[in-house]
Amino acid sequence: MCFSFQLQRERKELQLERERNLQELQDSVRRARDDCVHQVELERLKLKQLEEDKHRLQQQLNDAENKYKILEKDFQQFKDQQNNKPEIRLQSEINLLTLEKVELERKLESATKSKLHYKQQWGRALKELARLKQREQESQMARLKKQQEELEQMRLRYLAAEEKDTVKTEQQELLDIRNELNRLRQQEQKQYQDYKEIASGKQGSPRGSGLEEGLDDYLTRLIEERDTLMRTGVYNHEDRIISELDRQIREVLTKNSASN
């Protein structure tokens, strides 16, 4: 019995709880619906107000456009009237001339800058040309100096070779003269020996006549040899070979004088 009573009591409480929750839910739905209806009504009122404001502003805009057209027409008429006045036309011409003056000044400034730029470019070009010219001159001077040095070396080599050939020639001439002197000395010694024999009476008078003729020929050869060497311009009386020839000529002359 107690258990059945308790079960009924719990069912009743659950039923009451469910009804209470349902009532709260219905109240919430009703409040939400009322809020939505109220919000929709407010939005409808706002829309109506906006429509009225739009209509009013559109009317103001139309009025303003009409006023603007009227004012623009009046201003154009006023402008036309003002433009027909001499001072207005003169002012317009002054304005045009001022604009032309400004444009000409701008073009003049641009031309001046271009001229200055061209002048600077021209100056740099002249400096570069002068630098290239100087470099070319230095290069030519270097080549000329090198050519002169090469010519000087060639001249020195030529002089050295010529001097070497001259030395060889002079050495050969000296050798020939030395050989000739040896030959003449031997001949002189032989003739001198014959002369001594004649002077001592070992040979007859015909032999003495032949010796005198041999000394004359020997003297002639010595003089010709000396004169030939002198005519070359290479030797003078101070050279040893010329001095030797002069000595031999004097000895032969002395011998000829003694034999006579």
What are the pLDDT digits (tens) for 59-100?
888 888 888 888 888 888 877 776 666 666 677 778 888 888
pLDDT of residue 29: 85
With cut-offs at 50, 70 and 90, classify the pLDDT of residue 207. Answer: very low
Least confidently predicted of 24-33, 65-74, 124-133: 124-133
Q: What is the pLDDT of residue 204?
A: 40
Note the pLDDT of residue 209: 46
Q: Between 116 and 246, where is the model more confident?
A: 246
The size of the chain, in residues, is: 260
Q: What is the pLDDT of residue 201?
A: 44
Mean pLDDT of the region 228-250: 83
Q: Tens of pLDDT along 152-183?
A: 777 777 676 666 666 677 677 767 767 776 77
pLDDT at 42 over 50: yes
Higher pLDDT, 34 or 197: 34
In the chain, where the domains are located: 1-84, 171-259
User: Based on C-alpha coordinates, what's the Rg of the chain?
Assistant: 75
Q: How far is CA 8 from CA 2, 12, 51, in A?
A: 10, 6, 63
Question: Which pLDDT does position 234 carry in this prediction?
Answer: 72
- Can you spell out the DSSP letters for 80-119? HHHHTSHHHHHHHHHHHHHHHHHHHHHHHHHHHHHHHHHH
Choose between 250 and 157: higher pLDDT: 250
Share of the chain above pLDDT 90, in %: 0
pLDDT band at 206 (very low <50, low <70, confident <90, very high): very low
Among the ranges given (37-41, 58-62, 88-92, 121-125), the one the predictor scored with the smallest mean pLDDT: 88-92
Residue 114 banded pLDDT, cuts 50, 70, 90 = confident
